[in-house]
Amino acid sequence: EEGILGLEFHENPTHTLELGTQVLLEQFEKYGVLMRPVIRVVEFGTEYLRKVDDLRMRDRNYLVCLDVKLNDISHPYGWLKKAVYECKDCGTVVVKMQRRARERVSPSTCRPCLLKAVDYMKDDQIPWGLFSPRPNFKMVLEECKYEDIQDISMRQITYNKDHHLIHCSMKNEIIGTVSDDLVGDLNAPAYVRVNGIVRVQPIPSRNFSKDTRRVLSIDVLSVEELPINDGTSS
C-alpha cells in the first residue's frame, strides 16, 4: 500500500494531498478533534533534487526539491480558494473551486432551473433560438473558503559535503508560495530546502486578462532548514 500511495503522490501530488486532507478531516470530525489538518511532506528522495536555473515549462506539475537562499518574503495575504454560490430562483447550491492568480469562476447556469425551462419550452413549443438562459446566482460569503499565503523569492545555491556555501546563483530568481501554517513562519535571508510542485503562473506585470505569457513558480509543500556555513557567521 505504501508503494501505491508513493506512486500516486509522485504522479498526481495535488490530488493525493486533497484526498489525504479529506480523510484526515473526516477522522478529526469523527473523534471530535478541534483542529484543521495540514499535510507537510518532508525528506524527499534525491531523485527529486533539481536546480532553479534548469527548470522549464515542461516541468509543470512535477515534484521538486530546491536548495535555495530565501531573499525576500512578502506580506501575508489571502485568496479565494472555494467559492459557494446559491441560485436566487430555486436555492440550488453550486461550489466552484478557484485557481490562484486567475479570474474568478462562477456558475453559468442552474441545472434544475434549466431543466424546468426546457420542459416549459417543450410544452409551449417555443423556438430554441429564443432560448437564452442567464445565470442568477449570489455568492454565499459565509460558506466560501479563503487561504492565507505568502510569496517567497529564492535563488539556487550550491555547497560542498561539509555544507560550506560555494555559490549563490544570480542568474534566475523563482517565486514560491507558502500557505497555512507556514505563513509567518519563515525568515529571510535563510538557506533552506524547498519541497514543492512546479506551477505555471501568468506574469505579474500582465496588463490584459488573456495574456498568454507565463512564468514558473513553486507551490511549497514543506521547507527544511539547511545548516549552511556561508562564512559570515562568527
pLDDT digits (tens, 9 = 90+) for 56-73: 999 999 999 999 999 999
149 located within any domain? no
Three-state DSSP at 39 gives coil
Say if residues 154 and 64 touch (Cβ distance below 8 Å).
no
85 located within any domain? yes
155 located within any domain? no
Strand pairing category for 63-73 and 190-202: antiparallel
Say whether pTM exceeds 0.95: no
> Residue 234: its pLDDT value, please?
43
Cell of residue 43, nine digits: 525528506
CATH number (domain holding residue 84): 2.20.28.10
Three-state DSSP at 96 gives strand
Say if residues 155 and 69 touch (Cβ distance below 8 Å).
yes
151 located within any domain? no
Number of domains into which the chain is organized: 2
**Greatest distance between any 2 Cα atoms in the chain:** 87
212 located within any domain? no
Cell of residue 184, nine digits: 509567518
Q: What share of the chain is helix, strand, coil (3-state, %, to 5)?
A: 25, 35, 40
> Residue 8: its pLDDT value, please?
81
175 located within any domain? no
Last residue of a domain, one of 87, 122, 143: 143
Last residue of a domain, one of 143, 169, 198: 143
Domain that holds residue 110: 79-143
Strand pairing category for 77-87 and 145-159: antiparallel
Last residue of a domain, one of 105, 120, 143: 143
Counting as low any pLDDT under 50, the low residues of the chain are: 234
131 located within any domain? yes
> Residue 146: its pLDDT value, please?
94
Cell of residue 25, nine digits: 478531516
Say if residues 224 and 42 touch (Cβ distance below 8 Å).
yes
Say if residues 49 and 65 touch (Cβ distance below 8 Å).
yes
